[in-house]
Structure 1
Amino acid sequence: MSTSGTLSVQRVEEFVLANRVIRAPDYRKSHDEGVQFTDLDRGLQWGADVVPALQGLFRVERDPRDDRPDGWVGFARHWRGATLQVEFDEFSDPSGSDAVLVVTGVFGRAGTETITDKTVGEVALPEQVPTEGEWRDRRKRYEAARRSDDTDGATAVRAYVAALPGWKRDVATRFDEIVGQNVPDVRRAVRYHQPFYGVEGEGWFASFSAFSKHVKLSFVSDSYLEPRPPAGSGPERQALDVTETDTLDEERVGSWVRQAAAHPGMGW
């Protein structure tokens, strides 16, 4: 990933409220024993815990590890008393579009005065802990920003693709190119933690997601495509699973893209 500028607590919050934060495909999460999160049953959640934490970091610094030359690490107190350690990169597209923050990992840390991290050493914790109401208000601000967002999500999609490993990145890159070639005015966005493609004002017609052994190219239409993709359970869930050894039939995929874009199956 390419990075630009210097990140600060305020800058990270600006990313969140501009809806310019995504979760990396290999996003990792864990927590120390006894750490509790907003939802006591479900544990650490993106919307309930990570997003509010990014709006309330008390420390941000470069990740000193050699294998993360472009990485950053931030710390935020959680309203239940723990500390969230968030790792992220700032992705800047060569086109000059607005940068995107890519979160690669979140870790819940126990401690009341300090925590000791093997990466950055001892971290002194502020005494002030946000209230549950303040935490909830942060989430509401983010949700409002998402509802009112009208920015082009091309950079977010490219950041997601750049974070994929090896052959999966190659497949995703080519699919993104095929979509762009067949639908020149395509609208891109990262929704539900995966890239989506849509027609402005009409709806979303395609997406993709990466799994351990394949990349799933999905088509969302209000009618079946011709010929029907080999996977899926209905017009709105038609798909092609691409493995490392598969050769992508670009002509057929392009045809599916055009058909789906003519009849998007997911509302705007």
Structure 2
Amino acid sequence: MNFIDTQQSFMDYIRDPSRPLPDGMTLERMTVYRELFFNNINGFVSGAFPVLKSLYTDEAWLKLIQQFFVSFDCKTPIFIEISQEFIAFLQTQYQTVDYDPPFMIELAHYEWLELYIATVFDNEKELSITAEMLTELPLSLSVKATVTQYHYDVQHISVNYQPTEPSEQPYSFCVYRDEADEVIFLQLNPLTAQVLGFICQSQACYLSDIIVWLQTSYPQMSAETLSNGCLQMLQQLAEKGIICTLADAQQNNSKHTVI
């Protein structure tokens, strides 16, 4: 057996001990290896999803992690990204059972976002934007912020509160990292969620672009009302560092102004 085959048999047994032992390896030795790998995976997943874990018995949770460990082909060797792989497993491969909560995937995603935003790298090209600059410079969503929407009241879920049906109206959030590196979950009203979604999809847009878009969505409102309300909203978001401008965009805007 060549090295690649030996390595594959080693990995196969680590995942599933019902497979044959690798050549030349004892059961005791392979058990130690397997426990080390599994305990690492279990530790990272359990630490990333404490609320979801609290809704399961210890036996049921270990069974879920075991299924993830055995069956899912993780695409990254980076331990901090294991939680993202677990989300992918739940979304694409896992078959729910009777005791799984209906909000399982949404709650897991909600919890994962905290780790993601806490560890995402800063974009050195991002520049903070003042109230006076909002009308002049292109706006972008900070790399340290993301907008998401859920159909369950995930922010309040606990052992004592487990909704069985989705809400009539979705819950929108902006999850961002502030200047003190604290992760904040900001619940959004529908209009703010729409504006942030538009900025995110556009990657870089001007206030005038947002107003034109809003006028098509809210034709019953005057341009002045929309402009004033939107400007006030964007000022608050800029103060929190949720929206920004990019150095390249600022330079391009200056060149355009001169011309």
| TM-score, scaled relative to structure 2 | 0.29
Higher relative contact order (CA 8 A, sep 6+): 2
Which structure would you say has the larger Rg? 2
| TM-score, scaled relative to structure 1 | 0.29
Between structures 1 and 2, the one with greater strand share: 1
Between structures 1 and 2, the one with greater helix share: 2
